Structure 1
Amino acid sequence: MSCRVFVAAALLGLASLRAQESESLAERGLKQLIEQQQALMAEAAKENPKFDEEAFAQQMEQVCRGYEALLRANPNLAQGYAAYGYLLSKLDQRKQAIVMLLKANELDPNQPLVKNQIGNYLAEEGKPLEAVNYFLAAIKLAPREPLYHYQLGTLLHEARDDFITSGEWKADAIDRAIHHAFRQAAELAPDRIEFTYRYAESFYEMNPPDWDGALKAWSELEEKAPTPVERETMRLHAANVLIKQDKRDHARALLETVQEPALQTQKQKLLDQLAKPAES
């Protein structure tokens, strides 16, 4: 090998090594910024009467400047744009956040968190037909993330009329999709009450209804409920389902066990239903 070729190869290897070091430094810097923002957010979430909002804002501003410096030095760091966009969305800087998220998506279209956050932005902007594609893309990339299924179900439910009016969705198809999305979320995260409760509620929206499935869902929730008022809330739902099944004696017996003062208004409404003649 000639000296010139050897030197050229050495320089190429050195450039490659420096690129690897630069990438490693960028990743390390990103990790540190994420850890800082997580620590600040965790502190802000605590119920601390002595929480210093001014100090929090100053520290968060430092983190933001850190992201901006990192991205100036590493303009192709997709995960950096994603993390910064996520932080800005948490700080309610939505327009700045979406710029970062779209850039992250452009650089790396395989980040499910980015897809989900863009979907959230579009949903909040009143663009459900655009948002749904991003939620579906997030689910395709991370099918075992329960939050993505839950947010898809929520979007379909809240914008149901928009989807039907578009002509791209039939009413029965969207109702099945809503129920399926909440079921997936509940099955993937059975300890998340917001997911399992919403799944149980979705039985009310099915046509034709699956009351046996609904009764099972509310019974399972009652077993897991940690407090008396929560257990009796699930019992009220179960009684409601029994009324719809025309199992009136069973419903009445169940309602007699609801004693929490906070639930007496809901209980009375169901008792009033029982006082009416059964529908033929």
Structure 2
Amino acid sequence: MSDLAIGLLSVLLATNTPVALSNLIARQTGISIHIPDPNDPVEKAYQKLLAEDDAAQAEVDQWIKAKQERGDANDAELAALRARIQQRLDQVRQAYEDFLKQHPNHARARVAYGSFLNDIQEEDAARVQWEKACELDPKLPAAWNNLGNWHGHNGSVSNAFRCYLKALELRPTEPVYYENLAITMYMFRRDAAAYFNLSEHDVLQKAMALYRKALELDPENFILATEYAQSYYGFKPPKTGDANTDRKAAEKHFQDAMAAWTQAAKLARDEIERQGVFLHFARWQIDAGQFDAARSNLALVTHSMYDRTKSNLLRKLDRLQAEARLTNALAPPAPAK
């Protein structure tokens, strides 16, 4: 039995389990975490607050879905629905305000309140809560991650990098943090090159490595797998000037992309997602000149939602295949040996 397993057994026998477990993990892994005591009255009030937030958002989603299922609504009905939603969300806002008035130094509540404000498009107010949470508890990774999201959308990209790196430092096993840093480096590759003192090519390789780390930690996540696979569309291997080297690099890029989409196909949760991956297989195969394989994958796409995309790819396939046949027909015969 490992030292950590033995320690966990001791924790189960401890009188103050949350404190004992937190101390054990800090000793064994070097990662300091806060494990709340579920019997603490403040913790109970906080959990009740989160439950109210979740319940309100579920109710609002249900109201919107019901309206959509009923079809078109007149202006008066839409105004009434908006007022009803606003009233319900105001109740949650007031609950957060009341809690923080009593417990102004509760960092996790400020993170949650910030997420609530962000969900209702009050992004600047959300940022205030997350910054306060970081100030109150600098070791709270969710606060740094959320603040990184804010900077990535509204502020300095350099600050986004700094916040994501801090979140990863505090919780290096959280796949979302790797994903967020990967997205930001990929989207803002020039800023990332300056911040990390890397070439743009190296930035992209780093971003792809971060995606792979996220998938390693969350290997069953189809959305993450497709996000990683789609990233291969956004760059090509740099040209070296040597035709043979460039050809091999392009082939590897193609194989890496196909491998990523193959993994996504294995994780598809239904036929719609699976057929969507078949379209990506075909797109890559068309560009690689693998026309028969592309046509086979397109034949597997039968859902009507993909009709337009499938039709466009078939037209491209027919055109490129015809051009290839013409090129081969006009090519001079090989010299006799």
Distance in 2 separating the partners of 1:159 and 1:275: 39
SS at match of 1:186: helix
Gapped regions of structure 1 (runs ≥ 5) = 1-22
Distance in 1 separating the partners of 2:315 and 2:154: 40
Q: Quickly say closer, same or farther: Cα 1:243–1:55, change in 2 above 3 A.
A: closer
Q: Quickly say closer, same or farther: Cα 1:183–1:229, change in 2 above 3 A.
A: same
Distance in 2 separating the partners of 1:166 and 1:92: 29
Partner of 1:96: 125
Partner of 1:70: 99
Cα distance, 1:143 vs structure 2: 2.8
Q: Could you tell me which amino acid in structure 2 is paired with residue 146 of structure 1?
A: P
Partner of 1:212: 255
Alignment of 1:188-203 (within 5 A): 188-203=217-232
RMSD over aligned Cα atoms: 3.0
Distance in 1 separating the partners of 2:133 and 2:268: 40
Partner of 2:46: 30
Distance in 2 separating the partners of 1:270 and 1:143: 44
Q: Quickly say closer, same or farther: Cα 1:91–1:158, change in 2 above 3 A.
A: same
Alignment of 1:1-280 (within 5 A): 24-46=40-62, 47-49=65-67, 52-164=81-193, 168-204=197-233, 205=235, 207=237, 208=249, 209-258=252-301, 261-262=307-308, 263-277=310-324
Cα distance, 1:221 vs structure 2: 2.7
SS at match of 2:210: helix
SS at match of 2:197: coil
Q: Quickly say closer, same or farther: Cα 1:55–1:242, change in 2 above 3 A.
A: closer
Cα distance, 1:224 vs structure 2: 4.0
Q: Is the 8 A contact 1:26 1:70 kept in 2?
A: no
Gapped regions of structure 2 (runs ≥ 5) = 1-38, 71-79, 238-248, 329-337
205-214 vs 173-182, greater mean Cα deviation: 205-214
Distance in 2 separating the partners of 1:166 and 1:119: 15
Q: Could you tell me which amino acid in structure 1 is paired with residue 311 of structure 2?
A: Q
Cα distance, 1:255 vs structure 2: 4.2
Offset from partner CA, 1:143-163 (integer Å, 9 cap, x none): 333222222222112212333
Percentage of matched positions with identical amino acids: 27
Cα distance, 1:108 vs structure 2: 0.6
Offset from partner CA, 1:117-141 (integer Å, 9 cap, x none): 1011111114211111111222232
Distance in 2 separating the partners of 1:86 and 1:75: 17
